[in-house]
Amino acid sequence: MSTPDITPTVALVHGAFVDASSWNGVIAELKAAGLDVVAPPNLLRGVGVDASYLTGFVAALGRPVVLVGHSYAGAVISQTGSDATNVAGLVYVAAYAPEAGETLGAINARYPDVPLSAALRTFTYTDDLIKQGDPDGLAPVWAALARVHAALAQAAAAALGTSHPDALNWADVARTRYTYLDPGP
b vs e for 92-123, b when ≥16 Cβ sit within 10 Å of the residue's Cβ?
beebbbbebeebbeebeeeeeeeeeeeeeeee
pLDDT of residue 182: 44
CATH of the domain at 171: 3.40.50.1820
pLDDT of residue 99: 83
CA atoms of 155 and 153, how far apart (whole Å)? 5
Q: pTM here?
A: 0.68
Q: Is 106 a member of any domain?
A: yes
Number of domains in the chain: 1
pLDDT values of the chain reduced to their tens digit, one per residue, 185 residues? 445 578 999 999 999 888 899 999 999 999 999 999 999 999 888 888 899 999 999 999 999 999 999 999 999 999 999 899 999 999 999 999 888 888 888 888 898 877 766 666 554 545 555 455 555 555 666 566 666 655 555 555 555 555 555 554 445 555 444 444 444 44
Q: Is 119 a member of any domain?
A: no
Q: Is 98 a member of any domain?
A: yes
